[in-house]
């Protein structure tokens, strides 16, 4: 069996890859593994379970709840809420486990199961591996030990979760948003109620799009992966800015008043300066990934701040932040982690903080985002090559060295084997888009000839 857990839980086509049986079995396995690890010692365990609005989330939630309760875990069903809300509530309610059913920015047919440990933090890799082993062991025949009578878990709906999470968001804002007009694109997803409520309570005048989830339309032509509707709406309504989330609202991208995209790197740059001013940017550093735009790094160095870069994936960003005590990190895609207020990327929190900076300074979002110049970035995927030889090919090393010499200090090259496919990603940044395309094309040709 291939590894079930990816970098963000277990994900696949609902009712094909991710079945009710799998969701139930993983939930029982998680309960047993956490019990063995001592998480439940001395008390009756509780889990918080939430989901995004996908149609498949209804039966998968039922399966997860059944699995947990059958293993003796009391369940608080919080219903449709963002992933970061489930993480927050897991911590705030002192629960032993959190479970979120979502496939984030993926298309509607997909779904996923993501577990949070006590405190709302992602489960450690070794616990995920153990859950997978225990699940497989029992799937192939060994019966579970099951509680009976009063030992079975009880299930109740926790409707207060919505207000508790929104109150948390408002409570950490440095200032109100009065006078701002904001367009919110909710991707017909998990933040369709939360985000408009939070922005309204914070004082903003809002216009909402993509806020009518029907279980089938999540991420469909809207949200952070499809910004055209938001760009048009911001201009049409004369708004100060637009905020876009993905299906589970752990991401945030923005649009300025002219309808131009403000990506995750630019959002991080704006928030970094705001947090430095407030004295909350620990270590004078921001954590990004190797895919962060070179313009971001240049801007941070100019401002006397350090950009710490990790491998691609918000889990690696979070690991670095925790290890070194940094307060802010994220990715170009809009995963932004503000560790003093969230244990994971929180798109609604990020959007509120960005809007708060606009309101506090009286400057436009375009002006604030102008702290960094986003250098043109070209990404070419080269398929059907031996990606294992990227670091050992003398021909490729020579070509990269020559390309870096040509680009100088205003450009860079990154060759990265895909983690899931037989291809190599060639990324080139340069001050000039034509130069970036030219260098990327040449390197892609070398990758084909050297590794094909």
**Binding residue positions for Mg(2+):** 104, 246, 248, 250
333 included as an active-site residue: no
Q: What are the contacts of 401-409 at 24+ separation with CB within 8 A?
A: 403/428, 403/439, 403/442, 403/443, 406/439, 407/435, 407/439
Query: Which one of 27, 104, 320, 333 is the catalytic residue?
Result: 104
CA–CA separation, 379 vs 396, rounded Å? 17
SS3 99: strand
Q: What is the CA radius of gyration of the chain?
A: 23
Which residues are known binding-site members?
A: 104, 246, 248, 250
Which residues, in sequence order, are CB contacts of 330 under 8 Å at separation 6+?
264, 267, 268, 287, 288, 314, 317, 336, 337, 345
> CA–CA distance from 95 to each of 46, 61, 72, 88 (Å)?
5, 18, 14, 10
Among candidates 182, 183, 295, 317, which has minimal Cα distance to 250?
317
Nearest to 351 by CA among 200, 237, 220: 200
Residues involved in catalysis: 104
């Amino acid at each position: 069996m291939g590894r079930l857990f990816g970098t963000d839980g277990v994900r696949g086509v609902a009712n094909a890859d991710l079945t009710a049986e799998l969701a139930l079995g993983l939930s029982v396995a998680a309960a047993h593994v956490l019990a063995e690890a001592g998480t439940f010692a001395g008390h009756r365990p509780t889990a918080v379970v939430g989901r995004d609005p996908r149609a498949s989330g209804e039966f998968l939630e039922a399966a997860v709840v059944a699995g947990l309760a059958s293993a003796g875990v009391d369940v608080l069903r919080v219903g449709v809420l963002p992933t970061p809300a489930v993480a927050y509530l897991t911590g705030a309610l002192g629960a032993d486990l959190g479970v979120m059913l979502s496939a984030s920015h993926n298309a509607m047919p997909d779904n996923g199961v993501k577990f949070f440990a006590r405190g709302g933090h992602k489960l450690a890799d070794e616990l995920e591996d153990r859950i997978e082993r225990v699940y497989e062991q029992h799937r192939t025949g060994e019966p579970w030990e099951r509680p009976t009578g009063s030992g079975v878990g009880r299930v109740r709906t926790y409707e207060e979760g919505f207000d508790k999470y929104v109150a948390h968001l408002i409570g950490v804002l440095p200032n109100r948003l009065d006078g701002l007009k904001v367009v919110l694109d909710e991707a017909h997803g998990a933040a369709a109620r939360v985000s408009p409520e939070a922005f309204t309570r914070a004082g903003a005048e809002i216009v909402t799009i993509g806020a009518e989830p029907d279980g089938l339309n999540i991420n469909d032509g809207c949200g952070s992966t499809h910004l055209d509707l938001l760009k048009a709406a911001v201009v049409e309504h004369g708004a100060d800015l637009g905020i876009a989330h993905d299906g589970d609202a752990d991401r945030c991208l923005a649009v300025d008043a002219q309808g131009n995209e403000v990506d995750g790197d630019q959002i991080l740059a704006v928030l970094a300066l705001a947090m430095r001013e407030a004295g909350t940017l620990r270590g004078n550093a921001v954590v990004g990934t190797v895919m962060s735009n070179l313009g971001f790094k240049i801007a941070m160095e100019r401002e006397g701040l350090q950009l710490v870069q990790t491998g691609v994936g918000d889990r690696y960003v979070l690991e670095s932040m925790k290890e070194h005590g940094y307060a802010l990190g994220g990715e170009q895609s809009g995963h932004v982690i503000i560790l003093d207020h969230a244990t994971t990327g929180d798109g609604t929190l990020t959007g509120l903080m960005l809007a708060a900076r606009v309101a506090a300074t009286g400057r436009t979002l375009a002006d604030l985002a102008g702290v960094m110049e986003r250098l043109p970035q070209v990404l070419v995927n080269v398929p059907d090559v031996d990606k294992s030889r990227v670091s050992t090919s003398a021909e490729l090393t020579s070509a990269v060295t020559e390309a870096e010499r040509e680009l100088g200090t205003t450009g860079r090259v990154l060759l990265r084997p895909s983690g899931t496919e037989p291809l190599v990603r060639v990324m080139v940044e340069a001050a000039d888009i034509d130069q970036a395309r030219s260098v990327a094309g040449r390197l892609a040709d070398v990758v084909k000839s050297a590794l094909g």
